[in-house]
Amino acid sequence: MLDYFALGVLIFVGIVLFYGIIVLHDIPYEIAVHRNHPHQDAIHAAGWVSLFTLHALWPFLWIWAMLYREDRGWGFTDSTAQVSGAELQQQLADLQRRLEVLEGQRLTSQAPSPQPKDEEA
């Protein structure tokens, strides 16, 4: 009777470990879904690949999933540097004026200088 109980415990532990590892590998994907990550499918596929490589990729998937947040994106932009549409229009007009000045300077510097005429005797 004790042999059957031990066998049952071993089977139960094996099943729990099997499903536990599958749930563990899916944590980065669940983070990506929660954060509305643009690479959710890639993270999920890489999680399965990591499952077959003994979770060698798993820490990198965790970092990849944690990098993105929907409210701030990848976090590389300065949220205080928001520019209004009127400011953008003003900056564009300034850039166009500067370009016209530079183009005018370039055209005047490339104008051919008069060549002295050779006198034939």
Q: What is the mean pLDDT of residues 62-67?
A: 94
Q: pTM for the complete prediction? A: 0.57
What whole-number distance in Å separates Cα of residue 106 and Cα of residue 79? 38
pLDDT at 88 over 80: yes
> pLDDT at residue 67 above 90?
yes
Alpha helices for the chain (secondary structure H):
2-25, 27-34, 40-52, 58-67, 85-109
Residue 19: the pLDDT is: 94
- Would you say residue 80 has pLDDT above 70? no
Expressed in angstroms, the distance from the first to the final Cα of the chain is 129
pLDDT score, position 60 = 95
What confidence tens digit (pLDDT) does each residue in 41-56 have?
999 999 999 988 888 9
The mean of the pLDDT values for the chain is: 87
What lies within 8 Å, CB to CB, of 69 at 6+ separation is 35, 75
Domain extents in the chain: 1-73
Report how far residue 28's alpha carbon sits from residue 67's, in angstroms, rounded to the nearest whole number: 11
- pLDDT (mean) for 100-118: 75
